[in-house]
Amino acid sequence: MSAVNGTPHLELTKVSLRYGEVRALEQVSLRVQRGQIVALIGANGAGKSSSLRAITGLRKVAGGEVKLEGRTINSKDRQEPAHALVRQGVAMVPEGRHVFPYMSIKDNLLMGAYTRSDKDGIAADLERVCERFPLLKERFHQQGSSLSGGEQQMVAIGRALMARPKLLLLDEPSLGIAPQVIRLIGRSLREINQADGITIVLVEQNSRMALALSSYAYVLETGHVALEGPSQELMHNDHVRRLYLGG
């Protein structure tokens, strides 16, 4: 699903970000239209996760601005708190999943609905997450620490969905996960996008997966956008094939 007209759902304009004296992002600009899956690919340290930190306000930008539905949420002079963005429809699945180890799967999922008070809606969404990831329903009362990496990733995605996001940010969802589970998660993300109409920004080192799932992609190198374009075109780009697709 891809909307091409109107105000972008998310827009970064010449965003720069620092960690002390280290420049993590240098004038990065990107646009995500409502209903798109947009991928950010690149090597370790290229600026992919830093872009998500700029979007979510986990790090104040040194220059430029981040806009959500046309409204500035992060700039040198303004920083929207990360928790406030959840109420505005932004949810993030962090790298490493960060499942609560001593809480049940059910309680982990319910943590995603902490900003909500609509009990009937929460119950319905909990059932919907379990329909999307049936394995979670089977192990509803197991502790998070007892799950495999792939199962924890399902919990982390389900937890984010419990916030009823309009924009879902995913940081390396395939990291440390078995190939068959990666395929399952890929199918789930496509369903989340197409069936639920949720815009997705996908940060991935698994460039092949990211380009296959997305409609548009940005290639980040040393903190700047080196290439951008429709994902299928980048899949056949010689530079991308050589550096990120193994030939």
**pTM of full prediction above 0.85:** yes
- Nearest Cα neighbor of 207 from 237, 235, 188, 173 is 235
For the domain 10-96+165-244, what is the CATH superfamily, name and number? P-loop containing nucleotide triphosphate hydrolases (3.40.50.300)
Beta strands in 110-237 (DSSP E): 167-171, 199-204, 216-221, 224-230
Tell me the pLDDT tens digit for each residue of 17-53. Answer: 999 989 999 999 999 999 999 999 999 999 999 999 9
Domain range annotation of the chain: 10-96+165-244
> What share of residues in the chain are helix, strand, coil (percent, to 5)?
40, 30, 35
Tell me the pLDDT tens digit for each residue of 158-202. Answer: 999 999 999 999 999 998 888 888 999 999 999 999 999 999 999
